[in-house]
Amino acid sequence: MSVASTQAHPAGAATAGGLGVRGSRGPRRDRRFKPFGPSPLLIAFVVVPLLIESVAVFWPAIQGVYISLTHWNGVNPPTFAGLDNYRRMFDDPVFRKALENTAIWLVLFGTVSAAGGLGCAMFLQRERRGIAVYRAALFLPVVFSLTATALMWQTLYQPRGLANGLLSAIGLGSWQHAWLADPRTALYAQILPALWREIGYVMVLYLAGLKGIDPALHEAAKVDGASAWQQFRNVTLPQLRSVNAVVLSVIVIDSLRSFDVVWSLTQGGPYNSSQLLSTYMYQTAFVNTDFGYGCALAVVIFVLAFGVIVSYLIRAFKETD
């Protein structure tokens, strides 16, 4: 498989790809169709995770919704406030800014990481000598903790950091900037480190998806005289539909919970200009200890994430039906 023979000898590639698919999917299928009835072990496998999930996830989530309906500073007993916290959002300029920034983040971060991830995957899908090095290099940022990543980028963005140094070296000294301190650039300067990480992750998802496409489809398209673009548009993309659903969920969730980068770099500043819903929620709940409003913000984030993903999934399922 090391020779660039995929196109010249599609049959060989098909065997290799086919093997790969069988190798990874086989065992899972076997397990699913085990013919035994519900054994105690099986019940334990369902009940134990359910219990853990209930205690560790569902119960705190329900409690979070309850707290969002109260005024609570963590010290006094919470007092029921109805929808006060939600009403407060309407005339909270910081909330509006955070919502706007989150939308910008979602769109920019989402499209660039999906397009970039798919692009890298297309580029790196063919087996060539040393291709693994490139894949590993692109995936490497995913391994770093985002806080560490942020610290690294912070040094780059320093007024006398590498970013400004580079600009002056190529004669763009006038573009030099205090990237993180200027409210006009702070948000965008922070999307970059997040993208740097996310693209590698999305690439791996798409690489897996591309591997799963039956090469015979491309072969057939080529025999029919389809151009590279037509193949991409009419074979690759439709075949990636299931991966797209995963990628979209991952991107939406990741962008709504994007927190580490912003909190480490600017804490939503300067003067709230790069505040995201997630950082605003954290600040409200854990710095200002206004847990009621903080939980209300968390509920909004949850509804947004859940809404986007569910609506996509519904549409995706409708299409498959």
Partner 1 sequence: MSRFEPSRRGFLAGMGALGAGVALGGCATATTPSGGAAQKGGAVTLQSDLSSPLAEKAMKSLVAAYNKQSTYTVKLNTVAATTYQPLLPTYLTSANPPDIYTWYAGSDANHYSARGLLLDVSKVWSSLGNYPTALKTLSTDASGKQIFVPTDYYWWGVFYRKSQFKKWGLSEPTTWAEFLKVCQTIKAKGVIPIGLGAGTGTAWVASAWFDYFDIRINGAEYHRGLLAGQHKFTDPQVVKVFDAWKQVLPYFDPNGTAVSWQEASNQLLQGETGMLLTGTFFADAVPAGSLDDLDFFKFPVLDPSVPDVEEAPTDGLFASSHTGNSAAVMDFMSWMTTPTAQNMWTQTSSGTVIPANPQATSPATPLVQKGKAMLAAAADLTQFFNRDSTDALQNTADTALVDFIQNPGRLDSILSTWQSQAEKVWNS
In the DSSP assignment, the letter for residue 271 is: T
In the DSSP assignment, the letter for residue 287 is: I
What are 70's strand-pairing partners?
80
Q: Which is nearer to partner 1, 91 or 224 (CB)?
A: 91
State yes or no: residue 288 binds partner 1 (CB under 8 A).
yes
DSSP assignment of 214-260 equals -HHHHHHHHHTT--HHHHIIIIIHHHTHHHHHHHHHHHHHHHHS--H
Q: Which is nearer to partner 1, 121 or 192 (CB)?
A: 192
Per CB under 8 A, which region of 3-11, 132-140, 193-201, 268-276 contacts partner 1? 268-276
Over the window 45 to 74, marking each residue x when it contacts partner 1 by CB under 8 A and - when it does not, the resulting string is ---------------x----------x-xx
Give CA 275 to chain center in angstroms.
19
Count of other CB atoms within 10 angstroms of residue 258: 23
Q: Which position among 102, 125, 266, 274 is part of the footprint of partner 1 (CB under 8 A)?
A: 266
Distance between CA atoms of residues 311 and 194, nearest Å: 25
3-state secondary structure (DSSP) of residue 233: helix
What value does the CA radius of gyration of the chain take, rounded to a whole number of Å? 24
Smallest gap from Cβ 260 to partner 1, in A, equals 4
Q: Which is nearer to partner 1, 185 or 249 (CB)?
A: 185
Q: Which is nearer to partner 1, 19 or 52 (CB)?
A: 52
Q: Give residues in contact with partner 1 (CB under 8 A).
A: 60, 71, 73-76, 93-94, 146-147, 150-151, 154, 158-159, 178, 180-183, 257, 259-260, 263-267, 269-272, 282-283, 285-290, 293
